[in-house]
Amino acid sequence: MSKQVAVIGLGLIGGSIALAIKNHHEDARITGFDVNQNQLQLAKALRVVDETASSLEEAVQSADFIMIAAPVVQTEHILAQLSEYSLKSNVIISDVGSTKHSIVKHAKSILDPSITFIGGHPMAGSHKTGVSAAKSHLFENAFYILTPDQNVAEKDLNKLMDLLRGTKATFVELEAEEHDYLVGLISHFPHILAASLVNFVSESNNNQRFNVARFAAGGFRDITRIASASPVMWRDILLRNKEVLLQMTDDLKLELDRIRNYIEQEDGDKIFDYFTDAKDFRDGLPVRSRGAIPAFYDLFLDVQDQPGVIAAVTQKLAGEEISITNIRIIETREDIMGVLRISFRSELDRDNAKAVLERDFDTYVDDK
Ligand SMILES: NC(=O)c1ccc[n+]([C@@H]2O[C@H](COP(=O)([O-])OP(=O)(O)OC[C@H]3O[C@@H](n4cnc5c(N)ncnc54)[C@H](O)[C@@H]3O)[C@@H](O)[C@H]2O)c1
Ligand SMILES: O=C(O)C(=O)C[C@]1(C(=O)O)C=C[C@@H](O)C=C1
């Protein structure tokens, strides 16, 4: 199978898709295009793509696969442009957008029926943007949702999955509308809540005589990390998943009223049950299995809570070229040993790190 691949939009996801394709198909020739010249040049310099094109038309003219990785409203504009070009007759077009219904509908209405379009959404990412944040293993262990309509031939779907095999993701087929409801619930709506919470705190901050934000501790930071993501990407997502998100916003108001009543009535039992239900569901989420929540592999280390210890640990890991995704001291008090939690992208990285660090530290893996 020849593999001329055009990747349109060379940001975090386009870059990661390009790297993942190259992982499994060394022979694939990847041409990149981005409206942002900076990203385009950077993608070439970082060898994320083999070559860059100076126009969309140039990028796609001899492509066997076209992967669109732009914000979702832009994706519709790109599809409209593609419908005017002469493309290879057997080209397969896909996208990575976080919404699916409007894109799939748009593709169907605008592309020649002989062209194969398969909607896609790799369910992993980050609040970071741009090609410099791209990683070949970003989608490892994640679900990769595909939304082929009934006209898509099995062999074309298989060709696309084969192209994307280097993502090491698990492919799942869904109807586009099912996708938008599901992802609305576990990704889009939580994003709205994170941003609302930050704005709420920021506005409250203005009315205080001290700086509230300075006191923001782990809990606030954990629940609001995603509010640092790209406003362009999220604006487009809200515009294209409007009905689902309107309904969820209304439903959440009822949920807030419920806990508000329990507080007002000082109903300790109900409040306890409320948190217990939430804890049970949250604790039951698969930790290492594939899901919208990226799997992290944690290693715990007993360390002396003293200056330089984190540097010593990271140096040892760097020496073995083991990357970490997060590092944090938890439950430290002056009179006890600190516990360092280090997170890794893969189980293999975690196991290798354990082997390196257990020579000097007591290490633990939480296997529950
Ligand atoms: N960030 C995530 O966590 C995540 C995860 C899964 C899917 N997605 C989806 O992936 C897509 C890309 O998101 P990202 O995180 O890579 O954003 P990004 O901002 O890192 O990259 C988007 C790139 O698209 C380019 N672009 C915009 N309009 C274009 C056009 N008309 N032609 C060519 N290039 C264009 C931008 O210049 C930018 O470089 C979005 O549709 C998003 O919904 C994002
Ligand atoms: O990890 C994050 O920062 C993300 O927000 C990733 C996330 C998600 O909600 O899980 C965000 C949007 C994408 O469409 C898919 C994944």
Domain range 179-283, CATH class: mainly alpha
Ligand 1 centroid vs 367 CA: distance in angstroms?
35
Q: Which CATH architecture has domain 297-364?
A: 2-Layer Sandwich (3.30)
Ligand 1 centroid vs 14 CA: distance in angstroms?
7
- Measured by CA distance, the residue closest to atom 36 of ligand 1 is 9
- What pLDDT does 253 receive? 96
- What pLDDT does 275 receive? 96
- What pLDDT does 238 receive? 98
- What pLDDT does 76 receive? 98
What average pLDDT does the structure give for the chain? 90
Burial category of 288 from C-beta neighbours within 10 Å (exposed 0-12, middle 13-18, buried 19 and up): middle
Q: What's the helix, strand, coil split of the chain in %, to 5?
A: 50, 15, 35
The span from the CA of 305 to the CA of 335, in Å, is: 9
In sequence order, the 6+-apart residues with CB closer than 8 A to the CB of 4 are 28, 29, 31, 62, 63, 64, 65
- What pLDDT does 292 receive? 47
- What pLDDT does 287 receive? 64
- What pLDDT does 35 receive? 98
Contact 14, 131 (CB under 8 A): yes
Confidence of residue 366 (pLDDT cuts 50, 70, 90): low
Ligand 2 centroid vs 260 CA: distance in angstroms?
29
State the ligand closest to the CA atom of 233: 1
- What pLDDT does 296 receive? 66
The span from the CA of 253 to the CA of 266, in Å, is: 20
- What pLDDT does 367 receive? 58
CATH tag for 4-174 (out of 3.20.20.80, 3.40.50.11540, 3.40.50.1400, 3.40.50.720): 3.40.50.720
Average pLDDT over residues 229-251: 97
Ligand 2 centroid vs 315 CA: distance in angstroms?
30
- What pLDDT does 234 receive? 98
Q: Tell me the per-residue pLDDT of 300-326, one tens digit each, with 9 for 90 and over.
A: 887 766 678 888 899 999 999 998 988
Among the atoms of ligand 2, which is closest to the Cα of residue 97? 14
The span from the CA of 60 to the CA of 53, in Å, is: 9
The span from the CA of 14 to the CA of 131, in Å, is: 8
Ligand 2 binding residues, C-beta < 6 A: 98, 123-127, 187, 226, 229, 292, 294
**How would you classify the pairing of strands 143-147 and 116-122?**
antiparallel
- What pLDDT does 326 receive? 81
Phi, psi of 119 (to 5 degrees): -65, 145
Among the atoms of ligand 2, which is closest to the Cα of residue 226? 3
State the ligand closest to the CA atom of 32: 1
Average pLDDT over residues 190-213: 85
Residues of the chain with pLDDT > 90, as a percent, come to 71
Q: Tell me the per-residue pLDDT of 178-197, one tens digit each, with 9 for 90 and over.
A: 999 999 999 999 999 999 99
Average pLDDT over residues 151-162: 96
On the question of pLDDT at 52 being above 50, the answer is yes
Ligand 2 centroid vs 123 CA: distance in angstroms?
7
- What pLDDT does 2 receive? 63
On the question of pLDDT at 205 being above 80, the answer is no
**Residue bearing the bigger pLDDT, 244 or 359:** 244
Residues of the chain with CATH 3.40.50.720: 4-174
Contact 129, 233 (CB under 8 A): yes
- Number of Cβ within a 10 Å radius of residue 221: 9
State whether residue 335 is helix, strand or coil: coil
- What pLDDT does 94 receive? 98
- What pLDDT does 210 receive? 72
Question: What is the chain's alpha carbon radius of gyration, rounded to the nearest angstrom?
Answer: 23
On the question of pLDDT at 199 being above 50, the answer is yes
On the question of pLDDT at 16 being above 80, the answer is yes
- What pLDDT does 335 receive? 44
Q: What are the C-alpha distances in Å from 170 to residues 224, 338, 366?
A: 27, 37, 24
State the ligand closest to the CA atom of 194: 2
The span from the CA of 281 to the CA of 2, in Å, is: 46
Q: Dmax over Cα atoms in the chain, in whole Å?
A: 71
Ligand 1 binding residues, C-beta < 6 A: 8-14, 33-36, 39, 69-72, 74, 77-78, 96-98, 121-122, 125-126, 129-130, 230, 233, 237
Average pLDDT over residues 323-349: 71
On the question of pLDDT at 126 being above 90, the answer is no
Residues of the chain with CATH 3.30.2130.10: 297-364
Of the candidates 156, 158, 74, the one whose C-alpha atom is nearest the C-alpha of residue 116 is: 156
Among the atoms of ligand 2, which is closest to the Cα of residue 294? 1
pTM (predicted TM-score) = 0.82
Residues of the chain with CATH 1.10.3660.10: 179-283
The span from the CA of 10 to the CA of 53, in Å, is: 12
Report the interhelical angle of 242-264 vs 189-206 (nearest 10°).
60
DSSP per-residue string spanning 31-87:
EEE-S-HHHHHHHHHTTSSSEE-SSHHHHHTT-SEEEE-S-HHHHHHHHHHHTTS--
Sign of CA dihedral 52, 53, 59, 61: negative
- What pLDDT does 212 receive? 75
**Which ipTM score applies to this complex?**
0.98
State the ligand closest to the CA atom of 48: 1
- What pLDDT does 352 receive? 93
State whether residue 14 is helix, strand or coil: helix
Ligand 1 centroid vs 92 CA: distance in angstroms?
19
- What pLDDT does 53 receive? 98
